Amino acid sequence: MWNQVKTVLLLGLLAGIALAIGYVFGGTTGLTIAFVLALGINVLAYFFSDKIVLMMYRAREATRHDYPALHRIVDELARSAGIPKPQVYIIPTETPNAFATGRNPKHAVVAATEGILNLLSEEELRGVLAHELGHVKNRDILITTIAATIATVISYAASMARYATLFGGNRENRGAGNILALLFLTILTPIAAMLIQLAISRTREYQADATGAHLSKKPEALARALEKISSAVRARPMRFGSPATSSLFIVNPFTRDFFVSLLSTHPPTEERVRRLKEMKV
């Protein structure tokens, strides 16, 4: 129920920001256009946010013929979790990582990078995939995917506001007040994107870790995988995609400074590893 409430709130936030930008850009006419666009974007975010994310990361479907071991692991874990088997996708990058997306367990996708297949042992990979199926089983993939999509849209809105500030916006609204409003939106929209990221509680990662540990029966394997992935990401962060979608992944795939890590939706890897090593299954 709380995830449904958060979904409505996030979609409402996107609509509000779109309306504000539309009004500043074009007055009443811009407000009307923004209203129509906001409705369309909300529908797209709800029904197609998973496909948008997969396209953003150039993911392709992993066939059983090409990735038999990957399919076998997902098959076994889905049966253990009591959920339909998700579709399996591959992301073409050597940065090791994985994420789950979709509206519900019947429309779920698990995506793994080429790098994670090369880095981890089968036991460790099983732990990571169990974590991702934990997200599916716990039904938090919809809110995560929508939040990531909206945060990306808001980031683009910030860029639009910056361009509007440079070029003066709508001809009828070039007064000092509107220029200040555009500057305000330029500052506000990245903050809003950050707040959306923070709306996804860190507890969901701990819960997925716990669920994944019980599904795989080997929490220490997941702990080793997290350590390996974190170390590899620091050495080779992802070079495409959007940092606004980092909450989808098992570990943030982008380089982070100390301040950003404090505001991350991911708990510290060290704490996740500690909890996993203390876990009894």
Q: Which amino acid is it at 123?
A: E
Which of 76, 132, 172, 271 is the catalytic position? Answer: 132
Secondary structure (3-state) at 105: helix
Residue 106 DSSP label: G
CA 76 vs. chain centroid, Å, equals 25
Q: Are 163 and 182 in contact (CB under 8 A)?
A: no
* Residue 108: strand pairing partners: 102
- Where are the alpha helices (H) located in the chain, listed in sequence order? 2-56, 68-81, 114-119, 122-137, 141-167, 176-199, 203-216, 219-235, 258-262, 269-277
Q: Is 163 exposed, middle or buried (0-12, 13-18, 19+ CB in 10 A)?
A: exposed
Length of the chain: 281
Q: Is 65 exposed, middle or buried (0-12, 13-18, 19+ CB in 10 A)?
A: exposed
Q: Are 213 and 276 in contact (CB under 8 A)?
A: yes
Q: Which amino acid is it at 88?
A: V
> Residue 94 catalytic?
no
Catalytic residues: 132
